[in-house]
């Protein structure tokens, strides 16, 4: 018998560091019958426990909502940071796409080119954001203060002047004219009393709570500053976060379900990114054009009206009307002739936005018809207010895409067409599951008519 060498002995001896240092391979030998029965029992127990927990959660819904509100309040800097990172991501992607090849060509021996490019893109995005915010505040705050001050001072006298002019127009003392004059007089009296009493009381309340308001404003500004710092880390590590999320999805779900979740995530990002960023750009353009047009027409409250029109234009469909109606009333009280010019100008501006600017920037980012846009705005606004009116359209667009994908998948399984135009008035699916096109129906109807005509002529 051959003697064992030293190498053979070392192979047989267990490693000194321990087997558990390296990750062992998990082997699935299959579950026994006892484990299968135990698994069924555990499934039933988990379902019953989940139902009980859901019942008690409904009973403690107020407490749970308070806890969630507290968590959201604590995580505000993170939420702001992720929102800022999402808005700045196009600038960073643009820098990565165009600046990285130039750096690789000019400095081939430079290490960490990707990190340098990413840092320059993030810096450029933050500078653009800060410059826009500072410019808006420098332009808007003095003009807004002046416009609001003039409005509070001059609106009562403007309403009195308007009532006098209206009374002169109804000098014939008709019943309708008297009734309208009384209604307007009561409305003007109510508004003036409200501005002198309730408005002053509200101002006193605001002034008394000014300390709390200042603290809240400083707190929100601090959260935004921290959010900007958080956005830098998010943008630097966005690929790592993406890979980690993808890893978790594949670990938790089946491959087919995981691929579907990732596909819907990418599609949702396309819809939300295209809509939100495009709508912000579109609203900024409309606000600038409105300011230029009102300045050329020498209208009152130019900056205030431009800000109102630009901000409300973020809301799809209803936004132009929400911003134009109070702005038109303000200008009409100041100068009726200018108010009419403003209405004409806003109609032309919204036609320009709806037919040229909006489609060029947004395109068909949502894929929704006008009815579903109105539906999603009303539903989102009713549930979540102003933010719901803005995010309701892309959210419903994602839901619409999912439903459309499920419907098309079921139709493909049944070997039926997925194009909506195929299901017109004359098309149908017979009892055997065969689709009959409208052209075939029309041809069959024509053949039946000709046959009946031939039978009647022979008779």
Supply angle C-alpha 184, 186, 188, rounded to 5: 65
DSSP 355: I
Q: Which two tokens stand for residue 426?
A: 């004359």
pLDDT given at position 20? 46
DSSP 421: G
Whole-angstrom CA distances from 155 to 158, 192, 341 are 5, 9, 20
Whole-angstrom CA distances from 257 to 247, 253, 262, 398 are 13, 6, 9, 17
pLDDT in tens, the chain (459 residues): 445 555 554 555 555 555 445 555 555 555 566 666 666 778 888 888 888 888 887 787 788 788 888 888 889 999 999 989 988 888 888 888 888 888 888 877 777 778 888 888 889 888 988 888 887 777 667 766 666 666 666 666 666 666 666 566 555 555 656 666 666 667 767 766 666 666 556 656 655 655 666 677 788 888 888 999 999 999 988 889 989 999 999 999 888 888 999 988 988 888 888 888 888 888 888 888 888 888 888 887 787 788 888 888 887 777 777 888 888 877 877 777 888 888 888 888 888 887 777 777 766 667 777 788 888 888 888 888 878 888 888 888 889 889 988 888 888 888 888 888 888 777 888 888 788 876 655 555 555 555 555 555 555
Q: Which two tokens stand for residue 189?
A: 């009296």
The dihedrals phi and psi of 173, each to the nearest 5 degrees, come to 60, 40
DSSP 21: G
Radius of gyration over every alpha carbon of the chain, rounded to an integer in angstroms = 34
Q: Taking the CA of residue 182 as centre, how many other CA atoms within 13 Å lie in the half-sphere pointing to its CB?
A: 7
- Confirm if 120 and 99 have CB atoms less than 8 A apart: yes
Helix, strand, coil % (nearest 5) of the chain? Answer: 85, 0, 15
Q: Which two tokens stand for residue 431?
A: 């009892």
């Amino acid at each position: 018998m051959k003697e064992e060498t030293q190498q053979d002995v070392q192979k047989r001896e267990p490693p000194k560091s321990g087997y558990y240092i390296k990750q062992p391979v998990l082997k699935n030998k299959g579950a026994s019958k006892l484990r299968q029965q135990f698994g069924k029992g555990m499934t039933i127990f988990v379902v019953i426990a989940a139902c009980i927990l859901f019942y008690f959660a409904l009973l403690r819904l107020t407490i749970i909502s308070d806890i969630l509100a507290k968590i959201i309040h604590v995580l505000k800097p993170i939420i702001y940071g992720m929102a800022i990172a999402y808005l700045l991501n196009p600038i960073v992607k643009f820098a990565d796409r165009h600046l990285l090849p130039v750096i690789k060509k000019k400095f081939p021996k430079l290490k960490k080119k990707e990190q340098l490019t990413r840092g320059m893109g993030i810096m450029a995005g933050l500078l653009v954001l800060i410059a826009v915010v500072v410019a808006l505040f420098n332009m808007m705050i003095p003009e807004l203060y002046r416009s609001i001050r003039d409005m509070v001072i001059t609106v009562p006298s403007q309403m009195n002047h308007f009532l006098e002019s209206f009374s002169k127009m109804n000098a014939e003392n008709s019943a309708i004219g008297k009734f309208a004059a009384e209604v307007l007089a009561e409305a003007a009296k109510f508004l003036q009393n409200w501005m002198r009493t309730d408005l002053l009381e509200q101002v006193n309340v605001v002034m008394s709570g000014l300390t709390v308001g200042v603290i809240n404003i400083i707190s929100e500004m601090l959260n935004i500053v921290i959010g900007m710092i958080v956005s830098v880390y998010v943008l630097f590590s966005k690929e790592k976060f993406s890979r980690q999320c993808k890893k978790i999805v594949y670990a938790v779900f089946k491959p087919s379900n995981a691929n579907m979740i990732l596909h819907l995530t990418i599609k949702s990002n396309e819809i939300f990114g295209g809509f939100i960023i495009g709508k912000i750009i579109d609203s900024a353009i409309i606000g600038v054009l409105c300011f230029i047009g009102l300045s050329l027409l020498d209208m009152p409250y130019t900056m205030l009206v431009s800000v109102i029109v630009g901000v409300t234009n973020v809301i799809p469909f209803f936004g132009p009307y929400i911003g134009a109606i109070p702005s038109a009333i303000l200008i009409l009280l100041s100068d009726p002739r200018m108010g009419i010019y403003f209405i004409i100008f806003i109609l032309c501006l919204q036609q320009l936005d709806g037919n040229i600017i909006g489609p060029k920037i947004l395109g068909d980012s949502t894929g929704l018809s006008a009815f579903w846009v109105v539906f999603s705005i009303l539903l989102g606004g009713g549930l979540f207010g102003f933010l719901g009116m803005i995010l309701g359209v892309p959210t419903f667009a994602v839901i619409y895409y999912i439903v459309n994908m499920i419907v098309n998948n079921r139709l493909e399984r049944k070997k039926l067409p997925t194009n909506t135009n195929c299901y017109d008035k004359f098309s149908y699916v017979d009892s055997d599951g065969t689709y009959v096109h409208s052209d075939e129906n029309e041809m069959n109807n024509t053949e039946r008519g000709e046959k009946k005509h031939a039978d009647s002529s022979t008779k």
